[in-house]
Amino acid sequence: MAEIIMYTTSWCMDCHRAKYLLDQYGITYEEVDVDSDAAGLAVVRQINGGRRVVPTIIFPDGTVLVEPSNEALARQLGITLDTGWL
């Protein structure tokens, strides 16, 4: 079964925010740290015109979101945000 793949770095605050949202809603994903995974970095650069932009998130349907807001991420996932924790 396909899953969400999130390309990240350990120091990226947007990455931490996106992971927190997915974790809070129990949504599983594979994380690829582009600082330590050359193949992952190549994917990110291919998607982003040679730039290293994270988080870059690929969904099972092929949709890609780059540095999405919480609202855009929730919309893609089909969830309603609980604004009490945001």
Task: Assess if residue 84 is contained within a domain.
Answer: no
Please state the domain count of the chain.
Answer: 1
Q: Which residue has the tokens 């949504």?
A: 27
* pLDDT tens for each residue of 18-38: 999 999 999 999 999 999 999
Q: Take residue 16 and report the two structure tokens written for it.
A: 């931490």
Q: What is the mean pLDDT of residues 39-67?
A: 97
- Identity of the amino acid at 82: D
At residue 74 the predicted structure's pLDDT band, cuts being 50, 70 and 90, is: very high
Separation between Cα atoms, residue 46 and residue 51, nearest integer Å:
8
Look at residue 82 and tell me if it is in a domain.
Answer: no
Which pLDDT score is estimated for 83?
A: 73
User: Residue 62 maps to which CATH number?
Assistant: 3.40.30.10
Q: Which residues pair with 4 in a beta bridge?
A: 29
- Residue 85 resides in a domain: no
The first and second tokens of residue 27, run together, are 């949504």
Question: Is 83 a domain residue?
Answer: no
Residue 44 lies in a domain: yes
Report the alpha-carbon distance of residue 65 to residue 53 in Å, rounded: 11
pLDDT at 2: 59
Domain containing residue 30: 4-77
Q: Does the reported pTM lie above 0.85?
A: yes
